[in-house]
Amino acid sequence: MSWIPPNLAQSCTVHTTITACQPQTFLFLQLVTQLFGRSLDSNNDYGSSEYDFNTDFYNFFDQTWGSEKITQRNVEEYDFIIAGAGSAGCVLANRLTEIKKWRVLLLEAGDEEPEVADVPAFAPLLQHSSIDWDFMTQPSPHSCLARRNGQCAWARGKVMGGSSTINYMIYIRGNPRDYDEWAEKGNDGWSYDEVLPYFMKSEDNHDIPHVAPYVHGVGGYLSVERFQYQDQNVMAMFRALGESGLEILDQNSGHQIGASLLETTTRNGRRESANIAFIRPIRRKRQNLVIETKAYVLRVLIDPKTKAAYGIEYEKNGKLVRAFARKEVIVSCGTIMSPKVLMLSGVGPAHHLKSFGIHVIKDLPVGYNLHDHTTIDGVMFQLPNETATNGDEEQQRKDVYYYREKQAGPLSSTGPAQLNAFVQTKYEFELDRPDIQYAIDATTLEDFLKDPILTAETRVSPMAYYDTFVIRPILLNPKSRGVITLNDTDPIYGHPLIYANTFSKGTDLLRIVEGIKQALSLLETHSLQKLGAQLVTTPLYPCDDLEFGTDDYWICVIESYTTTIYHFVGTCKMGPKDDESAVVDPELRVHGIKRLRVVDASIMPKIVRGNTNAPTIMIAEKASDIIKSTWLK
Q: How far apart (Å, rounded) are the C-alpha atoms in residues 269 and 226?
A: 9
Q: What is the pLDDT of residues 329-373, one digit of tens each?
A: 999 999 999 999 999 999 999 999 999 999 999 999 999 999 999
Q: How far apart (Å, rounded) are the C-alpha atoms in residues 239 and 417?
A: 15
- Number of Cβ within 10 Å of residue 625's Cβ equals 14
Which distant-in-sequence residues (6+ apart) come within 8 Å of 462 by Cβ?
A: 119, 121, 122, 124, 125, 396, 399, 410, 411
Q: With left for phi above 0 and alpha for psi between -120 and 50, is residue 326 left, alpha or beta?
A: alpha
Task: Tell me which residues are annotated as active site.
Answer: 567
Helices 506-520 & 551-560 angle (0-180, nearest 10): 110
Tell me the binding residues for FAD: 159, 297
CATH class as words, domain 49-61+72-113+274-363+572-631: alpha beta
Write the single-letter amino acid at 409.
G
Closest C-alpha among 161, 222, 296 to residue 614 = 222
Integer CA distances (angstroms), 297 to 313, 314, 316, 338, 542, in order: 6, 4, 9, 10, 42
Write the single-letter amino acid at 325.
A
pLDDT, mean over the chain: 93
CATH number, domain 8-38+114-158+227-261+373-564: 3.30.560.10
Domain ranges of the chain: 8-38+114-158+227-261+373-564, 49-61+72-113+274-363+572-631, 182-224
Helix (H) and strand (E) counts in the chain: 17, 26
Q: Among positive and negative, which fits the CA dihedral 626, 629, 632, 633? A: negative
Label the pairing between strands 222-224 and 203-205: parallel
pLDDT at 601 over 90: yes
Label residue 13 by pLDDT band (50, 70, 90).
confident
Q: What is the DSSP letter of 538?
A: P
Tell me the binding residues: 159, 297
**pTM of the model as a whole:** 0.95
Q: How far apart (Å, rounded) are the C-alpha atoms in residues 334 and 158?
A: 11
Q: What is the pLDDT of residues 540-572, one digit of tens each?
A: 999 999 999 999 999 999 999 999 999 999 999
Alpha helix ranges (H) inside 327-406: 334-344, 350-355, 393-406
Q: How far apart (Å, rounded) are the C-alpha atoms in residues 438 and 241?
A: 10
Label residue 211 by pLDDT band (50, 70, 90).
low
Q: What is the pLDDT of residues 22-35, one digit of tens each?
A: 999 999 999 999 99
